[in-house]
Amino acid sequence: NNNSSRFGKLITVKFDTNGAICGGSIINYLLEKSRVVFQSEGERNYHIFYQLIAGGKADPELQKTLKITDAVDYHYLDQSGVVEIEGINDEKDFSIIRRAFTTLSFDEDSIVAPILAITAAVLHL
């Protein structure tokens, strides 16, 4: 499954006495850390890495800032021989992530830029 989750989630939704949602939480667990450094034949690493690379191609300033190139240039992304999957548009998916940051009112300088920099840093290890 090219789009399977590599972690588990526990989602808790809290309701008030009127039945309206008043809170909640999401706890991620079972992150498949080994997947960052090794992928089986025919599988890709986590989607975010390929999305970031595609986003950099679409945004040369981002590419320059994060010092990212092509997926095939990174050992963590090219071990399985699969960097692209038919039907998956990493550039479009990256733009969805960027819109989500905006929707959540994440500040570009203090939140978004560090998230992207840390993600790119993993590729440079």
Secondary structure string (H, E, C) spanning the chain = CCCCCCCEEEEEEEECCCCCEEEEEEEEECCCCHHHHCCCCCCCCCHHHHHHHHHHHHCHHHHHHHCCCCHHHCHHHHCCCCCCCCCCCHHHHHHHHHHHHHHCCCCHHHHHHHHHHHHHHHHCC
- The predicted-structure confidence for 75-122, as pLDDT tens digits, reads as follows 889 888 888 988 999 999 999 999 999 999 999 999 999 999 999 999
Pick the CATH number of 38-123 from 3.40.50.1480, 2.40.160.50, 1.10.10.820, 3.40.50.720: 1.10.10.820
At residue 1, does pLDDT exceed 60?
A: no
